[in-house]
Structures are given as C-alpha cells and as structure tokens.
C-alpha cells in the first residue's frame, strides 16, 4: 500500500524532530502502522530553514493553504502554535477533510469545543498527544488505557520551565528572579516566559486532561491559574523543613459539588514520587477507582520527545482513518452525545489545606490573635513553625516568620481569615499563602 501522505505546517524544533524520528525509525513505524508514513509537503515562512529540515524530495512552500489544498495530503500536522492563524488553518484543514495532528494546547484549551465539533461533523480526527506533557503518552493513557475507571483526580507537573526554576531555587537557595534570568540564559525559558511562569501553559494542559478525565467540554476560562512569580526561596526552605517540596501542579478533581480545575504552586509531601521530579521533567499522577494511583513520567518538551507524541498520533490515524468515524476513539474520550454537564467549581469553593507564612512582630499575644482568627472560622491547624526572631536594626524590636500548616478548609473561609490576619497591626508584610496537596 502506498504511504499515507502528511503535510507539515511549521518546520521548527518539533517539526525537525518529527522528520528525524520518522526517517530513523521508518521500518519499525511502517511495521506498526501497516503502511509507510511520509511527510511530503512542508509550509513555513522561512522556506530555506524548512528545506534544510525536510531535505531533498519534500515540497516546501511559504503558503500553508497550499498544503491544505493538496488533494494527496491525508493528514496535516499543525506546529505553528498560538490561537491566531493556527485556529484558522486547523479549521480549514478539517473543512478540507484532512485529519489533523497538533501540539497546540493553547488552541485546543480555548477553541477545542469548536474544533472537535467541526472535526466530528466532517468525520476527521484531531489528535493531540503532543499537546500535554510532550513525550509522555498521557492522552492515550487517560483516553484508552484507563477507560475502565471512574477517574477521581489528576495532579501533574506539566510545565518543564517552571519545574526547572523551582528545582534550581531549592538546590541553590536562590530567589525566583535570579533563577529565571539564568534559565533564560541557558535557553530553558523563553525570552517571553509569561505563559510558563504565570501558569497559563500548565492550565491549558490541565484543561485538556480535565475534559478527557470527566467527559466535560474544554473550559479554559473556568480554570484557576496562579504561577510561581511570587514564590520566595524562604518558602521553599520552610516547606522543606516541614517535609514538603513546592511544585507547580495542574490539578483536576471530581468532588461531590463539581469539578476542580486549578493550577498553582502546591506543597507536596517530600516522600511522594512526584515531589522528586526535578529539572525540566514532567510527571502526571492519575487516581482511578479501579486502578488506584498511577504515575507517568518523562520529558514534557523538546524536539524528539514531542515528535514521539506527534508520530504516535500519525500512526493512530493511519490505522484508524478507514474505520467508521463512530467507531473511533472519541476526541475527548467520551462519546460526543454522552458528555456531562458537571460544572467547574469557582476557586472559592475548592477545599484544600494551606501553608501560610506571616511576617509578624515578635510580641506577646500575636500567635494567639492569629490562631484565634483561624479558630473562629473553623479552620484547624495542622502544624506551626516559628523561626528565631531577627533584630530589626537600630530599634531593639524584633520580628519573625510564623509558618502555619492547616487542615482542609474551603478557600472562601481561608480568604476571610487572610483578610482578618492581614489587618492585624502586628502582621508586618503581605501574608504568603500556598496550597498544600497530600496526594494520598
């Protein structure tokens, strides 16, 4: 049978990895897919770079629409990124009857409902293994491997840049800004790292996992998103003293009241495997009712790890594209007519436990006032750590860090407690609040 023909939009780092892996492993891939897979056409504004990536014999153009219009192309790989032209081109490819493979988490998290509906109407596949956790086959695991389970929760380190920064902060005792500059110098962080450090990239990925886990539409606008820019080396050190590591987690959880979907720094017990995932690596923990806890670990970015996911999708489509569309694996794991209307909870309704750091005057009664506020709101304390008081130069007065770990409470109650504690004249600086996940 003649090879299935693929058109590539965007010949950057992942495109180049896709060519390399397809060429290197072509015999094995063909034995698995049942026929060859060939990228025969590439679109990139930098045609010289694209030709260098694609090599001889591959048609290169600056016009992405020429790829979509080519009747010989069966599958279009979108590696442009972003919500702009990528959205238009993906919808045009679907309208032209092409299957689409994309690594574009931002596009699917924001416009997934429109894109999956268009693909279903046209009977084509939109595959996106590379969009979440790079080379880790987490979409396949959630959508197929764990299909027997009622998924209870997912927690993942799904942004390598921020995990690298947090690892360096912990290892070297440095503050966020210093490590970010170093990460940019080494090429681990983008020149504009906003999406990574503000948690947006992780929230895009968590949104996709949330939909697949619980069978609800993609709803990035409902995700709570908090990045790592406010974290200090002191919090990482105190967390360590209490037996925890701080990780940026993407969390989605089924509760009696609805679905939680949130990204924020979290204290994780140091003994959990995921707490020991360091550097730019990614890891996802999934809890299912039948299987229990499962862990998926690997490279979440990079040329060939991401290409590994792109090519897995190409092989899936090669095997499945002749199947009746109704008998394929649904885009979001659940049949489109069996999606649930479970709602995503506002952050104020989320129940979790907390790490609090208060810079306080070291005077009689301060601790009593703080704990009194928590007690009045029904918030139970799990542990308290008070550092030795530091002399404030020249004044003879002293101040100290008071660290409090709480048991679970509703976020709205914690917000009320924080407001009252912050208003105390003996609380001398903005209170740091970091959520804590036991992941038991």
Q: Least Å distance between CB 134 and ligand HSE?
A: 7
Strands (E), 329-408: 351-361, 381-386, 390-391, 398-406
Q: Which of 366, 371, 351 is nearest to 437 (CA)?
A: 351
C-beta of residue 258 within 8 angstroms of C-beta of residue 297 = no
Nearest residue (CB) to ligand HSE, 166 versus 356: 166
Query: Measuring CA to CA, how many Å separate 4 from each of 30, 99, 316, 418?
Result: 10, 11, 12, 59
SS3 letters for 164-207? HHHHHHHHHCCCHHHHHHHHHHCCCCCCCCHHHHCCHHHHHHHH
Chain position carrying tokens 């139970």: 380
Q: Least Å distance between CB 271 and ligand HSE?
A: 25
Give the CA dihedral 130, 135, 137, 142, nearest 10 degrees: -60
Tokens found for residue 106:
């931002």
Nearest residue (CB) to ligand HSE, 94 versus 301: 301
CA–CA separation, 342 and 177 (whole Å): 39
Footprint of ligand HSE (CB under 6 A): 159-161, 196, 201, 300-301
Q: Least Å distance between CB 77 and ligand HSE?
A: 16
Q: Which of 305, 329, 318 is nearest to 39 (CA)?
A: 318
Q: Least Å distance between CB 424 and ligand HSE?
A: 39
Q: Least Å distance between CB 248 and ligand HSE?
A: 10
C-beta of residue 139 within 8 angstroms of C-beta of residue 103 = no
Tokens found for residue 127:
């595959």
Of the candidates 105, 140, 205, 247, the residue annotated as catalytic is 205
Nearest residue (CB) to ligand HSE, 40 versus 104: 104
C-beta of residue 277 within 8 angstroms of C-beta of residue 133 = no
Is 122 annotated in the active site?
no
3 state DSSP class of 434: strand
CA–CA separation, 123 and 117 (whole Å): 10
Q: Least Å distance between CB 412 and ligand HSE?
A: 32
Chain position carrying tokens 């130069």: 393
C-beta of residue 283 within 8 angstroms of C-beta of residue 295 = yes
C-beta of residue 161 within 8 angstroms of C-beta of residue 196 = yes
Q: Least Å distance between CB 201 and ligand HSE?
A: 5
Nearest residue (CB) to ligand HSE, 18 versus 159: 159
Nearest residue (CB) to ligand HSE, 33 versus 309: 309
Tokens found for residue 161:
């840049």
Strands (E), 270-373: 281-288, 292-299, 351-361
Nearest residue (CB) to ligand HSE, 73 versus 197: 197
C-beta of residue 68 within 8 angstroms of C-beta of residue 98 = yes
Nearest residue (CB) to ligand HSE, 54 versus 200: 200
Active-site residues: which are they? 205
């Amino acid at each position: 049978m003649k090879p299935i023909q693929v058109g590539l939009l965007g010949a950057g780092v992942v495109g180049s990895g896709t060519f390399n892996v397809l060429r290197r492993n072509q015999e094995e891939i063909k034995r698995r897919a049942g026929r060859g897979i060939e990228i025969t056409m590439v679109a990139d504004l930098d045609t010289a770079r694209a030709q260098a990536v694609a090599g001889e014999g591959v048609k290169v153009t600056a016009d992405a629409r020429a790829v979509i219009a080519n009747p010989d192309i069966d599958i279009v790989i979108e590696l442009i990124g972003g919500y702009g032209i990528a959205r238009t081109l993906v919808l045009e490819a679907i309208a032209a009857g092409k299957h689409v493979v994309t690594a574009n988490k931002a596009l699917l998290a924001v416009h997934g409902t429109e894109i999956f509906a268009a693909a279903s109407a046209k009977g084509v596949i939109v595959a996106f293994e590379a969009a979440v956790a790079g080379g880790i086959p987490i979409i396949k695991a959630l959508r197929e491997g764990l299909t027997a389970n009622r998924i209870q929760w997912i927690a993942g380190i799904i942004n390598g840049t921020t995990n690298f920064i947090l690892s360096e902060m912990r290892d070297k005792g440095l503050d966020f800004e210093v490590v970010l500059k170093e990460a940019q110098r080494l090429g681990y962080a983008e020149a504009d790292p906003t999406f990574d450090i503000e948690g947006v990239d992780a929230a895009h990925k968590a949104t996709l996992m949330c939909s697949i886990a619980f069978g609800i539409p993609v709803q990035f606008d409902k995700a709570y998103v908090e990045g790592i820019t406010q974290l200090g080396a002191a919090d990482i050190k105190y967390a360590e003293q209490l037996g925890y590591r701080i990780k940026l987690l993407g969390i989605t959880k089924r509760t009696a009241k609805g679905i939680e979907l949130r990204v924020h720094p979290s204290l994780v017990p140091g003994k959990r495997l995921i707490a020991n995932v360091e550097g730019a690596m990614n890891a996802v923990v999934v809890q299912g009712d039948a299987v229990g806890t499962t862990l998926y670990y690997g490279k979440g970015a990079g040329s060939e790890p991401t290409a590994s996911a792109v090519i897995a999708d190409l092989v899936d489509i090669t095997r499945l594209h002749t199947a009746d569309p109704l008998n394929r694996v649904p885009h979001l794991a659940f049949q489109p007519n069996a999606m649930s209307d479970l709602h995503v909870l506002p952050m104020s309704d989320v129940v979790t436990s907390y790490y609090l750091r208060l810079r306080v005057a070291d005077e009689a009664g301060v601790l009593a006032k703080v704990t009194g506020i928590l007690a009045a709101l029904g918030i139970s304390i799990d542990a308290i750590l008070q550092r030795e008081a530091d002399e404030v130069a020249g004044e003879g007065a002293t101040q100290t860090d008071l660290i409090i770990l709480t048991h679970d409470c509703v976020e709205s109650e914690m917000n009320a407690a924080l407001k009252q504690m912050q208003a105390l004249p003996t609380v001398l600086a903005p209170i740091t609040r970091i959520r804590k996940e036991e992941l038991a």
